[in-house]
Amino acid sequence: MRGPHNIIRLIRTGATLERTGAMPIVMDAMDAPPQVRAALRLLAWPFKWLGAKGDPDMPPAPRALTALGPAYIKFGQILSTRPDLVGSDLAQQMRVLQDKLPPFPNETAKAAIESELGAPVEQLFDDFSPPVAAASIAQVHKARLRETGEAVAIKVLRPGIERAFRVDIDAFYFAANMIEFLSPSSRRLRPTDVIAHFEGVVMGELDLRLEASSASEFAANTEGDTGFELPPIKWALSSRRVMTMGWADGVPLGDNDAIDAAGHDRRDLGNRVLQLFLSHALRDGYFHADMHQGNLKVAPNGNIIIYDFGIMGHIDEYTRRVYAEILYGFIKRDYRRVAEVHFEAGYVPRDRDVDEFARALRAVGEPIFGMDASRISMGNLLSYLFEVTERFGMETRTELILLQRTMVVVEGVARSLNPQINIWQVAKPVVEDYIRQSLGPRAVAQSLGRTAAVLARFGPRLPQLVEQALMRSASPPPPEPPRRRRRDLALWALSGGIFGGLATAIVLHIG
């Protein structure tokens, strides 16, 4: 699938942006340099007729992304939470991509439910409603359980959604391969690995049994969190393409007027959203990774309700400590320690100068801390940090991509509730508490205890394991049969020649 035919898909992307009038809007929002604007318009304009028209009743940018498909809609959902990056007007336009997309018919949803659950909808539910929310991957219906009368939300995957994502992901892979081939310096960023990481995330979102399992684990982790709740999963009425859970009754977190009318404190809600995310990521290593306004509500009692558990993030204990130390170092403005953590974790090659790296980090942090509170941004920090680490040869850490992306989204949500929020002051108590818990004397004792337990379990086998490892390292690998080696070299040369010729043609065309 990941072949040259994907060029057509990428050309169609530019053509759709041009045809819908979204190209100049996106370029303005991204503050693209004049030469980039001119090059993109020049490449897209001749193929404008290939672009999709989209829904003319929608604004240009969401119209283009909706027409291009679910992967592009996901991109628009992220932009909708960042008015500081794309402007308040474009961010507001993008909000329709969160849960207000065109639905598919009720009868199609009912047929899917009957096929998945093995019984007609009327036998399982009462008051089955039209779609109350329609997103890029699925839509939601409200109903009541026939047996108990409890209000529930029924999530049903869009028909054909798996193939639609497959087409877009294949095009992204092709683009990543072309970028790596044409720009060797970009390989440090591992664009193909980045696409693979998100492919795994998206494929998990297309199996609602995995989402139900994620919700169950998340509920167990956060059971004691005050001001926070999750709708319960109805396992007996859930399957691969259908998931049933308790109804979340509340005000959407993206509707500031409704929040104010209900008497909720938006300043407190903004602080709580950010602190809950950091607590889940650092304390549990398991966090909701799609925390845009479309997945958040405020209950009548003021609790934050979260749902849609298709994208969850996981980071191991060591990475959590590294991430916390980096954040804490920036909060304390201890740039030397931030630099040392990067070196200790192997994020920066050891042949680089730690003092020089610390000075570069100071140039990243100091301008941010000199800003007004409303302009202090972790998103800006990540952007500046990216520029510095590129100069010092740091490779992209795929295990941190989802964490960093979610941090940017959550910051956007918090700012939409309280534009004057000081991100660092709100984050500080959570990070400090984690540092005390994970790096203090008690944490050291716990780590030693776990290490001792592992050694006790594997101790009797250690001599045998070491001997086997030494024997493997000392034994040369068996020689490859000459015929097979020649065949592989021939295939490699043939495929390389085809791809190289294609890349050369593209370069000459662009040039």
For 145, the 3-state DSSP assignment is: strand
- Two structure tokens written together for 229: 């709740």
Is 290 noted as a catalytic residue in this protein? Answer: yes
The residues near 393 (Cβ < 8 Å, ≥ 6 apart) are: 188, 348, 349, 352
- CA atoms of 173 and 71, how far apart (whole Å): 13
- CA atoms of 169 and 36, how far apart (whole Å): 24
Q: What is the C-alpha radius of gyration for the chain, rounded to an integer number of angstroms? A: 25
For 325, the 3-state DSSP assignment is: helix
User: Is 264 in contact with 172 (CB distance < 8 Å)?
Assistant: no
- CA atoms of 297 and 21, how far apart (whole Å): 33
Rounded to the nearest 10 degrees, what angle do helices 423-439 and 441-458 cross at? 50
Rounded to the nearest 10 degrees, what angle do helices 317-332 and 423-439 cross at? 130
The residues near 387 (Cβ < 8 Å, ≥ 6 apart) are: none
Residue 106: is it exposed, middle or buried by C-beta count within 10 angstroms (0-12/13-18/19+)?
Answer: middle
Catalytic residue among 225, 290, 351, 488: 290
Amino acid at 350: R
The catalytic residue positions are: 290
